[in-house]
């Protein structure tokens, strides 16, 4: 289904955001929508969130939007969105985008890979792409927003007869709550799914060395990386060929674990050759005490905004369980697993 028009939700911002929107929406049918109308429900639509963040951070209106999205379960089901955040300083723009994306995603909204266009106050964050495009920083920023609008309007969700699902984890599989939940999900999927599980503990994972772009590309063209080993030999080829990822992420100090983060850092080796826009991300996050939303934000920021993977609505199952085996004892866990597995089938299968 091709969307005929784009709904624009604007919060704050000054004349730079106004000019950006003029460029981005030129020649496109668009309609402004208030945050209250959004909270009442906007289904199966293409949405652009355009947010101004001043030097002190997010506004009260922005917080009201978050609360409306969290309050109105499913209000954006079937919709697809992108975010433009225009910052006044060098701070707070990215955290605002991540928080908004998680709230909208939990309200059912899909985010395409690379669906954040961010302008820091100085626009220095555009400088590398601007150099490549031989444009000014501002032109580059505005054109990225225009390209995002076009992608939102023309996006066709991909479906598969026999979806290839890659489940990745870095936990001790005998004791882990996340691994138990992940395997329970896979067990509930139809036989037509081809599921593969890889443990990042099978080899020693070293973090990205930060080679130059040219060196990274050189290694990637030879299907390897400076360090070699499990990541370029096993994990990256499996990511390249899968249709969807299922990442099992315990909360380690309000972050994904070091092995998982090393994988994310080393995914650049894959991205220098191909984007991952046609792949979906699902995840299970488990905290021992609290903070699963922080890990979910990290996942969407890293994998969707940076690493180009598409985030289906409600991409993440968030649970709290500390001791080994505790996830199995959670009240209602069987029903939540059933519902999440059914949701994965709904997203992926024809
Ligand atoms: C190194 C480490 C750091 C942790 N940090 C946090 C934390 O910051 N917040 C939290 O709620 N739980 C924290 N936990 C607890 C785990 O998230 C929790 O035990 C979870 O069930 C682990 O998932 P797993 O059983 O799949 O390994 C931490 C656990 C470890 C081992």
CA of 187 to the centre of ligand 1 (A): 24
CA nearest ligand 1 atom 29, residue:
252
Give 331's contacts (C-beta < 8 A, 6+ positions apart). none
| Domain residue extents for the chain | 6-154, 164-348
Would you state the pLDDT for residue 1? 52
Report how far apart, in Å, the C-alpha atoms of 335 and of each of 184, 290, 340 are: 11, 22, 9
**Is the model's pLDDT at 239 over the cut of 70?**
yes
- The CA distance from 234 to 281, in Å, is 19
Query: What pLDDT, on the 0 to 100 scale, is given for residue 2?
Result: 59
Pocket test for ligand 1, best of 169, 184, 250, 294 (most atoms within 8 A of CB): 250
| Length of the chain in terms of residues written | 350
Pocket test for ligand 1, best of 247, 288, 291 (most atoms within 8 A of CB): 288
Please give the model's pTM, rounded to 2 decimal places: 0.96
- Give the model confidence (pLDDT) of 242-254 as tens digits: 999 999 999 999 9
Q: What fold, for 6-154?
A: Rossmann fold (3.40.50)
Kindly report, residue by residue over 64-94, the tens digit of the pLDDT. Answer: 999 999 999 999 999 999 999 999 999 999 9
> Regarding beta strands 164-169 and 46-53, do their DSSP bridges make them parallel or antiparallel, or are they unpaired?
unpaired
Helical H segments across the chain, by residue range: 15-25, 35-40, 60-71, 93-106, 127-133, 137-154, 177-188, 213-221, 230, 236-241, 258-266, 268-271, 292-299, 326-329, 333-348
Q: How many Å is the maximal CA-CA distance in the chain?
A: 58
Other Cβ atoms less than 10 A from the Cβ of 40: the count is: 11
pLDDT tens track for 158-179: 999 999 999 999 987 788 999 9
* CA 259 to centroid of ligand 1, rounded, Å: 14
pLDDT at position 5:
96
Residue 207 has what pLDDT? 77
* Ligand 1 atom at minimum distance from 254 CA: 8
pLDDT for the residue numbered 277: 96
Phi-psi region of 185 (alpha: psi -120 to 50; beta: other; left: phi over 0): alpha
Each residue of 132-153: pLDDT tens digit?
Answer: 999 999 999 999 999 999 999 9
Does this chain's domain 6-154 share its CATH topology with 164-348?
yes
Homologous superfamily of domain range 164-348 = Flavodoxin domain (3.40.50.360)
Residue 202 pLDDT greater than 70, yes or no: no
Closest ligand 1 atom to 291 CA: 11
Residues with CB under 6 Å of ligand 1 are: 171, 176-179, 250-254, 286-291, 321-322
**pLDDT digit string (tens) for 290-308?**
999 999 999 999 999 999 9
């Amino acid at each position: 289904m091709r969307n005929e028009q784009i709904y624009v939700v604007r919060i704050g911002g000054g004349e730079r955001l106004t000019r950006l929107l003029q460029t981005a929406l030129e020649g496109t049918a668009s309609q402004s929508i208030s945050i209250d109308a959004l909270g009442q429900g906007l289904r199966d639509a293409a949405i652009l969130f355009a947010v101004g963040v001043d030097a002190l951070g997010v506004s009260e209106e922005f917080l009201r939007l978050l609360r409306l999205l969290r309050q109105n379960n499913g209000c954006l089901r079937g919709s697809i969105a992108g975010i433009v955040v225009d910052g006044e300083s060098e701070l707070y723009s990215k955290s605002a985008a991540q928080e908004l994306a998680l709230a909208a995603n939990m309200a059912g909204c899909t985010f395409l890979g690379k669906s954040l266009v961010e302008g820091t106050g100085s626009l220095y964050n555009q400088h590398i792409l601007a150099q490549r495009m031989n444009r000014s920083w501002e032109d580059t920023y505005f054109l990225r927003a225009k390209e995002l609008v076009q992608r939102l309007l023309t996006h066709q969700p991909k479906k598969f007869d026999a979806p290839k699902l890659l489940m990745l984890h870095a936990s001790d599989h005998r004791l882990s709550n996340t691994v138990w939940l992940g395997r329970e999900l896979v067990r509930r999927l139809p036989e037509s799914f081809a599921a593969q599980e890889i443990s990042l503990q099978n080899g020693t994972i070293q973090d990205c060395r930060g080679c130059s772009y040219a060196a990274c590309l050189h290694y990637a063209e030879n299907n390897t990386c400076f360090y070699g080993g499990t990541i370029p030999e096993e994990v990256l080829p499996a990511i390249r060929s899968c249709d969807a990822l299922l990442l099992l992420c315990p909360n380690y100090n309000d972050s994904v674990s070091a092995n998982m983060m090393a994988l994310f850092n080393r995914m650049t080796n894959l991205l220098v050759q191909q984007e991952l826009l046609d792949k979906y991300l699902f995840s299970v996050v488990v905290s021992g005490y609290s903070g699963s939303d922080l890990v979910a934000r990290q996942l969407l920021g890293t994998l969707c905004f940076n690493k180009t993977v598409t985030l289906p609505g409600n991409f993440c199952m968030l649970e709290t369980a500390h001791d080994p085996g505790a996830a199995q004892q959670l009240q209602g866990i069987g029903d939540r697993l059933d519902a999440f597995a059914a949701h994965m089938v709904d997203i992926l299968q024809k």
